[in-house]
C-alpha cells in the first residue's frame, strides 16, 4: 500500500478491516477523496493515476472518480512550454539509423 497517503493508510489499518477485490485493496467511499488528493499532489494526470489505481486499488466507477477529480485541475491543463513541445516532436520524428549530422555532413557520434 505504498501508494496511499499516510493518513488514508492509517485510517484503513485503524479500522482493522481490509477488503480486497482480487489482489487490489478496496478503498471505502469515505476515503476516496483523500486517496485522490494524495495521488494528485504532484499533478500526475489521469493516465498515471489510473495506472497506479488499477494495479493496486478498486472501487465502483474508479475511472469516473479519477476523471472528476483531475479534470478541474488548472495545472494539469496548462499548455506545455514551446521548447518542451519542440523536443517531443523531434523525439517522435527520430528513428533508429537517422542520426543527426553536423553542418559538414558528417555523422555526430
The tens place of each residue's pLDDT in the chain, 109 residues long, gives: 455 555 555 555 555 667 778 888 888 888 889 888 888 777 677 888 888 888 888 899 999 998 888 877 766 555 555 555 555 555 555 555 655 555 555 555 5
- The pLDDT value recorded for residue 42 is 72
Grid coordinates of 21 = 477485490
- The pLDDT value recorded for residue 9 is 53
How far is residue 79's CA from residue 86's CA, in Å, rounded to a whole number? 13
Q: What is the set of domains in the chain, with CATH numbers?
A: 6-93 (1.10.340)
Grid coordinates of 13 = 489499518
Instruction: For residue 96, count CB atoms less than 10 angstroms from its CB and return exposed for 0-12, middle for 13-18, buried for 19 or more.
Output: exposed
- The pLDDT value recorded for residue 29 is 86
Amino acid at each position: 500500500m505504498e501508494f496511499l497517503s499516510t493518513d488514508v493508510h492509517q485510517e484503513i489499518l485503524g479500522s482493522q478491516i481490509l477488503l480486497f477485490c482480487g489482489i487490489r485493496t478496496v478503498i471505502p467511499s469515505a476515503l476516496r477523496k483523500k486517496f485522490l488528493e494524495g495521488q494528485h499532489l504532484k499533478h500526475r494526470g489521469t493516465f498515471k493515476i489510473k495506472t497506479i489505481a488499477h494495479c493496486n486499488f478498486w472501487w465502483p466507477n474508479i475511472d469516473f472518480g479519477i476523471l472528476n477529480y483531475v479534470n478541474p485541475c488548472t495545472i494539469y491543463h496548462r499548455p506545455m512550454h514551446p521548447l518542451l513541445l519542440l523536443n517531443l516532436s523531434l523525439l517522435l520524428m527520430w528513428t533508429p539509423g537517422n542520426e543527426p549530422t553536423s553542418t559538414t555532413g558528417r555523422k555526430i557520434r
